[in-house]
Amino acid sequence: MTEERQQTITRPATVSGAGLHTGETVTLRLLPAPPNTGVVFVRSDLPHRPTIPASPAHAVETGMGRRTILAKDGVEVQTVEHLLASLWGLGVDNVYAEISGLEVPGLDGSAALFVTALKAAGVTAQAAPRKFFSPREPIVLEEGDSAIAVFPDRALKVSYTLSYDHPLLKAQFASFSLTNGASFEERIAPARTFCLQEEAQALRAKGFGRGATYENTLVLGDGGVIQNTLRFEDEFVRHKILDLLGDLYLLGAHLRAHVMAIKSGHPLNVRLLHKLAQAMEQWKLGSIQSGTQEVMVGPRLDITQIEKILPHRYPFLLVDRVIELTETKAVGLKCVTINDYFFRGHFPGHPVMPGVLMIEAMAQVGGILILNKPENKGRLAYFMSVAQVKFRKPVVPGDQLVIEAHLGKLRSRTGQIMAKASVEGKVVCEGELMFVLADE
């Protein structure tokens, strides 16, 4: 399977309009961003232009329930879900979203106009692998008569059951396998937000829904949709899936799972988001959870399989997992934790991973690459020399080393490896390694 790359927009894109709840007219300007930036909101209307990353850590659990809110240091941006769903649908991983007010424009109440703006801006691939996440175990949340569950899967699938005390909303069910942007653009993006007529009146009384109109919100009265017509027979449940996709994109990685929801809204979605983020963090610390970044190329090795190739054992085995292994390349992971033995004596008051152990970790991944070849089965690869070594930044507890080893010259008795180690996409160490091959 070809490695998927991160993407950003090619040119800036601008949309303007009133927020569905505040009613304030704002301008949203989307700008290209470097790899591994994610989605970052910038409040251009405030002094010093404060930023709010679109991440689980900044998603607010609120009882308001009608929109998703991000907050940082007392600064908020509201109703981000339709924009985020559009970015997911168009495959945009990295973007700056400059906004001149509190709330993202509501536009026509769907994601369709965001999709139009993004398509006009264009999408550009970047030199960094796309991040994926799939939980190893089911995650289930319930609240009253609402529930949401996530089950491991090879791709994203969303199934949603909707039920309201209204003739048009007694029961609606929809399920989509979301493997490409075209499916989202045609089947989900045009679905508009909705509410019951009595809900609209209650929201207005509380000061919400000031920008909502019969054009951008499907309002259901006793006789049906007021002053509007449906784009889909099941537009209501499709919009719920749209909201859910936007909320899930706050995870910062493309989810590979089957998400099943019953009457869930933004508060329960955000609670699920926090659970998923915890699962990702546990894996980074060396738990059984799946990784935030999976390169689905070639075989993958767990610690038991690694020990069948390398002679190293704890505490000198410095590779936890191999996530890619081809004829010429290996990618291994080392989760650095405060429990690693070397922190007891190496700057114990200011724990930093020894540089020589970073080189050793790179050598072990290189050794796996060399010894995995059929002609080298049963041999040993002794680390002979190192050249062109550069240490670029310290590695501390909580970091995850992503170690890439590329095969250079390989002869019957010697092997050359070009290796680098990175943390969050930034190189921390690199060098050329030489090995001598010997029979056991």
Q: Give me the active site residues, please.
A: 266, 346
d(CA 369, CA 364): 9
CA distances for 337 relative to 285, 344, 349, 383, angstroms: 7, 12, 15, 25
Backbone torsions φ then ψ of 250, nearest 5 degrees:
-65, -15
DSSP 371-429: HTSGGGTTEEEEEEEEEEEEE-S---TT-EEEEEEEEEEE-SSEEEEEEEEEETTEEEE
DSSP 239-306: HHHHHHHHHHGGGSSEE-EEEEEES--HHHHHHHHHHHHHHHHHHHTT-SSPPS----BS--B-HHHH
CB distance 80 to 243 below 8 Å: no
Is-contact 7 92, C-beta < 8 A?
A: yes
Q: Crossing angle for the helix pair 112-121 and 81-89, nearest 10 degrees? A: 50
Helix axes 81-89, 235-248, angle to 10 degrees: 80
CA distances from 149 to 156, 240, 272 (A): 13, 15, 8
As given in the structure block, the two tokens for residue 8 are 């950003």
Residue 184 contacts residue 88 (beta carbons within 8 Å): yes
The Cα 93–Cα 251 span in angstroms is 11
Cα dist from 254 to 38, 81, 157, 247, whole Å:
11, 15, 12, 12
